[in-house]
Structure 1
Amino acid sequence: MSLLLGLDFGTGGVRVGVFDLDARRMLAEREAEYGTRHPKPGWAEQSPADWWEALGKASRAVMADLGRPEIAGICAATTASTVVACERNGIPLQPALLWMDCRAAAESDATARANHPVLAYSGGSDAAEWLVPKAMWLARHEPAVYARAGVICECLDWINFRLTGRWVGSRMNATCKWNWDSVAGRFHDDLFAELGVPDLAEKLPQPILPVGAPVERLSREVADHLGLSNRPVVAQGGIDAHIGMVGADTIEPGDLLMIGGTSVVHLFQLGAEQPVTGFWGPYPHALVDGRWLVEAGQVSAGSVLSWFSREIFALDQAGHDELCEAAGRIPVGGSGLLALDYFMGNRTPYRDPHLRGAVLGLSLGHDRAALYHAAVEGVALASANVLKRMDELGVPCRRIVTSGGYSRNPLWLKATVDAIGRPVELPSKANLTIIGACACAAAGAGLVPDLDAAAKAVVPPARPVEPDLAAHARYRELLEDYLEATELLAPLSRRLAARQTRGTPP
């Protein structure tokens, strides 16, 4: 058997799966959780040691389930940019800045004022979530940590170092988040100098390897930590949702992958460079040679729904299911409420980390079901706004594959499909990120010739989900309200966000 181990480091935990390439199916999966701390508004931190402990726990469990068979290849996909400042030996100097941490909003604004041609690949600026603005923030606010850091990297790089003892960067992460020039094959020190971090390139993991390239074999000690009987090759991975494109086989132009999770990520590729104003990219060669990767999405999506059900309403899973059932009985727009999903800023199409969430139209007659229903609608409308922008840009979208939290929340899935008004394919019980990581592992182990072949070898079956066109007509009306509310509230939202950043009462 050609067995492959895929690692998916998400926001709340790591999921580990073993895929049988010959049988084209996932044999077993396990998950282990780790925590997130929010020491200040807009901040989010995690402990790298927690990642490593959770990985060992989940991997040993899944290998025990299968009797510890030999593994041909292993690959990790992680959140991006979850940034670690550490010594060259991998010891972190402080907690990692989670991808959703938006403390570097001012630094993000500074990248928009920079004048360098490589910024065209990211749409003219870097998001507050990304590694470069976070490194700028460290250099400005924690200069001793920045100076001491031998390596500033992402979760992926840190995990790969722990697995192999080798520092390498992923061409995907470097191109999409680090201002790596994937056409010239280099960093631009003059850009980093303009941004106040002239030595940043020296601290970034190198060499830069393409997705699916072999990195190194596991050490015996690490193999024992993972519960493996042999020492498989580690293949270079990338960003969790982006690696899902390989698992969904949405690599061709005209395909769109839409993954619902803590955030929503919309990913597609172009056959040639074209302007994608409001989106992130186009990134040349980020996933595969000769194609231009484009990223869109929502910073807060499933996290908004969880915030309402767990934090505000204090519901367990059974209570959440009852809440969804009650909210599902409310027709589209029937609550009279309008929710904006910008709880941690906006990724697309406004590229504004200073926007904040809102619920409009509240009265004393509204209950939990109405609030939750409005939140679901708001998150769905944000996805519809992304698709609207794609149409305006003339980007072809002939096929949509969706996965993640949509498969576990039918209310969210229906709202999204009705809001965008297009059919989608929903793989059944498939974690596309793990499947994509296993496909990359197959490429790294030499079991397939390239990522295109790997994607064809692992893509799972899917069922079609059709939109309710009457509901879509109502969502089109709500989208106009959503757009108007965004425009009207944006100045006040930015002022409130600035006060939060300063730590003063609103």
Structure 2
Amino acid sequence: MALLLGLDFGTGGVRVGLFDLEARRMLGEREADYPTRHPRPGWAEQSPADWWEALGKASRALLRDLGQPEVAGICAATTASTVVACRRDGTPLRPALLWMDCRAAAESDRTARSRHPVLAYSGGSDAAEWLVPKAMWLAAHEPALYAETQVFCECLDWVNFRLTGRWAGSRMNATCKWNWDSVTGRFHDALFAELGVPDLAAKLPDAILPVGAPVAALSGEAAAHLGLANRPIVAQGGIDAHIGMVGANTLEPGEVLMIGGTSVVHLFQLDAERPVTGFWGPYPHALEDGRWLVEAGQVSAGSVLSWFSREIFALDGAGHDELCAAAAKIPVGGSGLLALDYFMGNRTPYRDPHLRGAVLGLSLGHDRAALYHAAVEGVALASANVLKRMDELGIACRRIVTSGGYSRNPLWLKATVDALGRAVELPSRTNLTIVGACGCAATGAGLVPDLQAAARAVAAPGETVEPDLAAHARYRELLGDYLEATELLAPLSRRLAARQTRDTNS
């Protein structure tokens, strides 16, 4: 058997899956959680040690249950822009800045004022979530720590280092989030100097490898930690949702992968460079040679729904199911409420970390079901707004594949499909990131020639969910309200966000 181990480091925990390439099926999955800390509003941090401990726990449990089989290849996919500042031996110097941490909003604004040509590959600026603005923030606010830092990296790079002892950045992450010029194959020191971090390139992993390339063999220490008797090849991975494109087999232009989780990510590739105003990219060669990767999405999505059900309403899983059932009885727009999903800013199409969430139309007659229903509609409308921008740019969208939280929340899935007004494929394998990571592991281990072959080997069919066209017509009206409310409230949102930042830092 050709067995492959896929690792998916998400916001709340790590999921580990073992895939049989010959049988084209997942043999089993295990998960272990780790905490997130929010020391200030808008900040989010995690401990890399917690990632490593959770990985060992999940992997050992999975492999023990499956009889300690030998594995041919391993690949990790992680949240993007979860930034680690550490020594060269991997020792973290502070908690990692989680991807959703938006403390570097001012630094993001500063990148937008640069005219360096490499920024064209990221749409003209860096998001507050990304590594470079976060490094800029640390240089300005924690200068002693910045000076002591020998390696700035992401969760993926730190995990791969712990697995192999080699520092090697992913060409995907570097191109999409670090201002790596994948056309010329280098960083631009002049840009980093302009941004106040002239030595940043020297602190980044010095090897940049394409997705699916071998990094190194698993170390003996890491093999013991994972519960493996052999030392398979570790293949280069990438951003969790983006690696899901391999698992969904959505590598061709015109195909869109939409993964719903804490955030929502919309991903597609182009055959050639073209303007994608409002989106991130196009990133040359980020996933495949000769293709331009484009990223869109929402910073807050499933996290908004969880915030309402867990933090505000204090519901457990059963209570959440009851809430969804009650909310499902409300027709589209029937609550009379309108929710904006910008709880942690907007990724696309406004690229504005200073926007904030809102619920409009509240009265004393509204209950929890109405609030939750409005939140679901708001998140769905944000996805529809992304596809609206694709249409405006003339970008074809002939196929949509979705996975993640949609498969576990039928109300969210239906609202999204109806808001889009398009058929959506829901694969039978819900965790496309693990499946895609296993495909990349097969490439790194030499079991398949490239990512295209890997995608064909691991992807599985699923069901097609059709939209309710009457509901879609109502969502089209709500989208107009959503856009109007965004425009009207944006100046106030930015003032409130600036005031919060000022008061927090004073």
TM-score bracket for this pair, using the shorter chain length: over 0.9
- 1:421 counterpart residue number: 421
The 1-side partners of 2:115 and 2:352 are apart by: 19
Question: Structure 1 residue 503: deviation in Å?
Answer: 2.8
SS of 2:14's equivalent in the other structure is strand
Deviations along 1:163-210, one digit per CA (max 9) or x if unpaired, are 000000000000000000000000000000000000000000121000
Deviation larger for 493-502 or 88-97: 493-502
- 2:186 counterpart residue number: 186
Specify the code of the residue in structure 2 equivalent to 1:389.
R
1:256 counterpart = 2:252: no
- 2:494 counterpart residue number: 494
1:328 counterpart = 2:319: no
Contact conserved, 2:343 with 2:357, CA < 8 A, in 1?
yes
- 2:363 counterpart residue number: 363
- 2:210 counterpart residue number: 210
The 1-side partners of 2:372 and 2:332 are apart by: 13
Deviations along 1:328-381, one digit per CA (max 9) or x if unpaired, are 000000000000000000000000000000000000000000000000000000
Question: Structure 1 residue 504: deviation in Å?
Answer: 5.3
Question: Structure 1 residue 479: deviation in Å?
Answer: 0.1
When residues 190 and 329 of structure 1 are mapped into structure 2, their CA distance, relative to the original with a 3 A threshold, is same
* Aligned ranges 1:9-48 → 2 under 5 Å: 9-48=9-48
Deviations along 1:399-438, one digit per CA (max 9) or x if unpaired, are 0000000000000000000000000100124210000000
* Aligned ranges 1:327-406 → 2 under 5 Å: 327-406=327-406
Contact conserved, 1:116 with 1:191, CA < 8 A, in 2?
yes
Question: Structure 1 residue 460: deviation in Å?
Answer: 1.2
Contact conserved, 2:401 with 2:424, CA < 8 A, in 1?
yes
- 1:169 counterpart residue number: 169
Q: What is the total number of aligned residue pairs between the two structures?
A: 506
Gaps of 5+ in 1: none
Contact conserved, 2:286 with 2:292, CA < 8 A, in 1?
yes
Q: What percent of counterpart residues are identical?
A: 86
Question: Structure 1 residue 231: deviation in Å?
Answer: 0.4
The 2-side partners of 1:29 and 1:482 are apart by: 39
- 1:304 counterpart residue number: 304
Specify the code of the residue in structure 2 equivalent to 1:417.
V
Contact conserved, 2:429 with 2:460, CA < 8 A, in 1?
no
The 1-side partners of 2:48 and 2:13 are apart by: 12
Q: Cα RMSD over matched residues?
A: 0.9
* Aligned ranges 1:56-455 → 2 under 5 Å: 56-455=56-455
Contact conserved, 2:287 with 2:293, CA < 8 A, in 1?
yes
The 1-side partners of 2:502 and 2:253 are apart by: 43
Question: Structure 1 residue 119: deviation in Å?
Answer: 0.3
Question: Structure 1 residue 21: deviation in Å?
Answer: 0.2
SS of 2:135's equivalent in the other structure is helix
Specify the code of the residue in structure 2 equivalent to 1:27.
L
Question: Structure 1 residue 229: deviation in Å?
Answer: 1.4
Contact conserved, 1:407 with 1:429, CA < 8 A, in 2?
no
Contact conserved, 1:126 with 1:177, CA < 8 A, in 2?
yes
The 2-side partners of 1:391 and 1:462 are apart by: 26
SS of 1:503's equivalent in the other structure is helix
1:8 counterpart = 2:8: yes
The 1-side partners of 2:447 and 2:214 are apart by: 12
The 2-side partners of 1:8 and 1:243 are apart by: 10
Specify the code of the residue in structure 1 equivalent to 2:95.
P
Specify the code of the residue in structure 2 equivalent to 1:422.
R
The 2-side partners of 1:497 and 1:225 are apart by: 43
Question: Structure 1 residue 65: deviation in Å?
Answer: 1.1
Specify the code of the residue in structure 2 equivalent to 1:453.
A
The 1-side partners of 2:211 and 2:398 are apart by: 25
The 1-side partners of 2:228 and 2:503 are apart by: 47
Question: Structure 1 residue 237: deviation in Å?
Answer: 0.2
The 2-side partners of 1:427 and 1:450 are apart by: 22
Deviations along 1:73-117, one digit per CA (max 9) or x if unpaired, are 000000010000000100000000000000000000000001100
Contact conserved, 1:430 with 1:460, CA < 8 A, in 2?
no
SS of 1:268's equivalent in the other structure is strand
Specify the code of the residue in structure 1 equivalent to 2:431.
N
1:471 counterpart = 2:457: no
TM-score, structure 2 normalization: 0.99
Gaps of 5+ in 2: none
The 2-side partners of 1:205 and 1:51 are apart by: 20
Contact conserved, 2:47 with 2:95, CA < 8 A, in 1?
yes
The 2-side partners of 1:46 and 1:70 are apart by: 31
The 2-side partners of 1:261 and 1:275 are apart by: 27
